[in-house]
Structure 1
Amino acid sequence: MSRHTRWLLALLACAPLCAFAHKPSDSYLTLSLADTSIQGRWDIALRDLDFAIGLDTNADGSITWGETRRSANAIHAYAFSHLQLRRIGSDEAQACSISPRNLLVDEHVDGAYAVIEFNADCAGNAERIGIAYSLLSGLDPNHRGLLSLQSSANQQSAVLENSGIQQQLDVARPDRWQQLGAFVAEGVRHIWLGYDHLLFLFTLLLPSVVVFRNGSWQPRASLRESAIDIVKVVSAFTLAHSLTLSLAALGLVNLPSRLVESLIALTVLLGAVNILFPVVRERRWLLALGFGLIHGLGFAAVLADLGLDAGHLLEALIGFNIGVELGQLAIVAVVMPAVYLMRSTAFYRRVALPAGATAIGCLAIYWAVTRAFPVMVASTGLPTNP
Structure 2
Amino acid sequence: MREQALAMGFDAVGFASAATSEAAKQGLTDFLAQGWHGDMGWMAETAERRADPRTLWPEARSVIVLAVNYGPAEDPMALLGHPARGSISVYARNRDYHDTLKRRLKRLARWLVEREGCRVKVFVDTAPVMEKPLAQAAGLGWQGKHTNLLSRELGNWLFLGSVFTDLELAPDAPEVDHCGSCRACLDACPTEAFPAPYKLDARRCISYLTIEHKGHIDRAFRVALGNRIYGCDDCLAVCPWNKFAQRSSEPDFLPRAELTAPRLADLAALDDASFRQVFSGSPIKRIGRDRFLRNVLIAIGNSGASELVTTLRPLLDDPSPLVRAMAVWALGRLDKVTFAEERCRRAAAENDPAVSAEWSSPDRESAGSVCAAADRSR
- TM-score if structure 1 supplies the norm length? 0.23
TM-score, structure 2 as length reference: 0.23
Indicate the structure with greater strand content.
Answer: 1
Higher relative contact order (CA 8 A, sep 6+): 1
